Amino acid sequence: MPQDVATGFLWFVAFLFSTTVHEAMHAWAAMRGGDLTAYHGGQVSLSPLPHIKREPIGMVILPLLTALTQGWAIGWASAPYDPRWAARYPRRAALMAAAGPAGNLMLAAAAFALIKFGLGAGWFAAPARVSFSGVVEAAGAGTPELLAALLSIMLMLNVLLFAFNLLPLPPLDGSAVLGLVLPQDKAIELQQYTSQPWLQILGLALAWKFFPVVSAPLFALVLALLHPGEAYR
């Protein structure tokens, strides 16, 4: 049980940091595009405090509860923006939407690089059994097991956040990113259509139902890249 609590707490820490980066990237991209709404709200920051202040339930209460009871964290966060700015500059708004998942991809790449370095240095080893919390294990007494778990969680959490948020369903970022490839008038129409509450609720339900189809092959891909000589089922 103490190990389960420790792993759950690592999930919470990883979620808090990863979600903060995600929202800070949204806010930074909006600021660079001319919308200072999130900047004035303090969201262009890697401190979790302004993000927690905006969404305390989604950033702290629910992820901490799920991390300590389920062994993984789930929650939500948001960065404010001016919808009039988004309608006037749909491509800038699409870049703002893409910036959040891009932040998760960068975190996943950093965790992946550290794990590969650790494998090469003999700090980590391929585990006999894998999970989202354990894509590597400590190879010896000199490497803390919690470090292997934290890097495993950071890698898998950010891979999953990147992929989930890019699903082209409202209110996820992927639906807004479509504005990068649409004509401006169609991008504005898409903004208006996907802002409807009923469609956002439906989109979340479909995303939650569909995502396991995506997450399983993603996990297999990560394992194949980390441990090319191993065969996991």
pLDDT value for 82: 96
Tokens of 164: 């989930």
pLDDT value for 89: 95
Could you tell me if residue 67 is inside a domain?
yes
Q: 97, 15 in Cβ contact below 8 A? A: no
Please, which residues have CB within 8 angstroms of residue 52's CB and are 6 or more apart in sequence?
A: 59, 60
Tokens of 223: 């394992």
When pLDDT is cut at 50, 70 and 90, the band that residue 144 belongs to is confident
CA distance 105 to 109: 6
Could you tell me if residue 232 is inside a domain?
no
Could you tell me if residue 63 is inside a domain?
yes
pLDDT in tens, 118-142: 999 999 999 999 999 999 999 976 6
Q: Is the pLDDT confidence value at 3 over 80?
A: no
Residue range(s) defining the domain that contains residue 112: 2-77+86-226
Residue type, 162: F
Could you tell me if residue 167 is inside a domain?
yes
pLDDT value for 165: 97
Write a three-state SS string for 112-141: HHHHHHHHHHCCEECCCCCECCECCEECCC
pLDDT in tens, 97-108: 999 999 999 999
> CB-side exposure of 216: number of CA atoms within 13 Å?
4
pLDDT in tens, 150-168: 999 999 999 999 999 999 9
pLDDT value for 142: 67
pLDDT value for 1: 46
Q: Is the pLDDT confidence value at 209 over 80?
A: yes
If you count DSSP H runs as helices and E runs as strands, how many of each does the chain have, helices first?
11, 2
Mean model confidence pLDDT for the chain:
93
Strand partners, 124: 138
CA distance 21 to 14: 11
- CA dihedral (98, 101, 103, 108) in degrees, to 10, reads -150
Could you tell me if residue 233 is inside a domain?
no
Could you tell me if residue 231 is inside a domain?
no
Domain count within the chain: 1
